[in-house]
Amino acid sequence: MKDYRQDRDNIHELIRQFLQLRAGKPATFLDEEAFDKIIDYYDENEDLALAMEAAEAGIERFPYSSQLLLRKADLLIASRKYQEALQLLDYIELLDATDINIYILKTDAYLALDEQEKAVRLLENALTLFQGEDKKELLFELADVYDDYEEFEKIFDCLKLILEEDPGNEEALYKICFWTDFTGRNEESIQLHTKIIDEVPYNELAWFNLGAAYQGLKLYEKAIDAYKYAVAIDEKFDYAYRNMGDAYIRLRQYREAIEVLERVLELSRPEDVIFEAIGYCYEKLKNYAQARFYYKKASHLNQEESRLVYKIACTYMYENQWATAAQKLEYALKMPGSSLDCSLAMGECLMQLGNYREAIHHFSLVIRNRPKNIQSWESLIRCLYYGEFYDEALEQVVAARKLTSNKPVFLYYQSAINLASGRFKEGLLFLEAALETAPRSLKKFISLDPSLLQHQQVVDLVARYRKNIRS
């Protein structure tokens, strides 16, 4: 606190002396550093005019001060006087070409003028003049220019050069993970980070990036191994647990995924995506009550997302709680951005509850928007069949075959509808055609209406066809 008060008093004294100088009154001698502090003060207070006056007053007294000349160039760029700034920077370069700030400020000016190519050439040439920290700073600057210029592959190259020189550079390690994923250069990333780990074995970011690169190649077991090293080094590395959870889900190892995702919840603020992922795992394990519990937690955090309410409804559907599921779906359908999946699910619930006309309305809505979607057509035709709207069902089967490139399932449905409505000859002909085209889809015929197998002619036809297949 004492140091802060002393610094504040010092700057106020410098400002007082500068204002005296500005007013033409006698003032104490101000050195270069004093002018630099005065410029800082006005710059931080967003008074560019007085900051510029201070810079020019300082340059008048110290005309060859690169430090003050650079401050003026910076202020010119802030004032959008880019050409004037570039001329001044050319002059400073003649005085001292080894100051890295010259090239950084020139880059800022070129980018502001939308002259990315000049910025790139400048920085590429400047790289030959510097080593160590200065070279790394220029490489970061060049990476930013490539980003503006949308030369994304070259961003990766810049970051790779930094890490080859400084394997533990945190900024480069953080950035290269994103650009590896963006450019798809996972193999190179694996080689690079394997080398880094050989040099710096306890670097959790390098292990994380290695895992991410393996994950990008869908080598999930290797990715998990790398993430395990990352969390062994830093047990609070929540992003490693997140990615590990995703990798376990990809491998369908849902219990392991739940374990690491719950660790994420311990380490960071609750997030809907984590709750949703855990809910998904429980859903796959057929533990629908637990899945619902986590989907509800996710929905509580993101109350405008209809997808989460839809997922809650699905857990009730899996348990055949059709009325409860329909209530949830009714709420989801009123939410902005509700998907056609909600309408499809609502149709299924209403059909199961015997409300066929309302179900047909929902299925028809989906088909209008997805005319080539097989599942939607199947749902509509099943609903018409169960509601005994056979003539309409036949019309829709013909439309479905036309719009879905004659999918065999609809031959089976056409057979079933004809049989159920007393058209036995037509029904058997369509069944024979279906068995000839796709014998494995017979289960669709049986699941639509198992009672169809009570017809001896149907049983004989299926048996004869299976016998022919065996021969």
Provide the residue type at 102 as one letter. I
**Nearest one of 59, 66, 65 to 100, comparing CA atoms:** 66
Give, as one character, the DSSP assignment of residue 200: S
141 with 104: CB under 8 angstroms?
yes
Mean pLDDT across 306-331: 97
Condensed to tens digits (0 to 9), the pLDDT of residues 206-241 reads 999 999 999 999 999 999 999 999 999 999 999 999
Tokens found for residue 413: 């449905």
Helix, strand, coil shares of the chain, percent, nearest 5, are: 80, 0, 20
Mean pLDDT across 59-86: 88
User: From start to end of 288-369, where are the E strands?
Assistant: none
Mean pLDDT across 372-400: 96
Chain-centre distance of CA 470, in angstroms? Answer: 51
For 402, counting Cβ atoms within 10 Å of its Cβ (0-12 exposed, 13-18 middle, 19+ buried), the class is: exposed
103 with 94: CB under 8 angstroms?
no
Length of the chain counted residue by residue: 471
pLDDT of 5: 52
Name the least confident of 113-117, 264-268, 448-452, 463-467.
463-467
Tokens found for residue 34: 């004093």
pLDDT of 3: 47
Residue ranges per structural domain of the chain: 399-471
Condensed to tens digits (0 to 9), the pLDDT of residues 136-157 reads 999 999 999 899 888 899 999 9
Mean pLDDT across 181-200: 96
Name the least confident of 13-27, 310-324, 349-363.
13-27
The residue written with tokens 């400002």 in the block is: 15
**Nearest one of 29, 118, 44 to 74, comparing CA atoms:** 44
The residue written with tokens 């080598």 in the block is: 219
Give the gyration radius of the chain's Cα atoms: 35
The whole-angstrom separation of Cα 140 and Cα 450 is 68
Tokens found for residue 66: 């690169």
Q: Could you give the count of Cα atoms lying within 13 Å of 448 in the half-sphere of its Cβ?
A: 28
Name the least confident of 21-25, 196-200, 202-206, 271-275.
21-25
pLDDT of 2: 44
The model's pTM is 0.81
211 with 228: CB under 8 angstroms?
no
Chain-centre distance of CA 429, in angstroms? Answer: 51
pLDDT over 70 percentage in the chain: 96
The whole-angstrom separation of Cα 355 and Cα 139 is 67
Is residue 336's pLDDT more than 50? yes
Provide the residue type at 274 as one letter. I
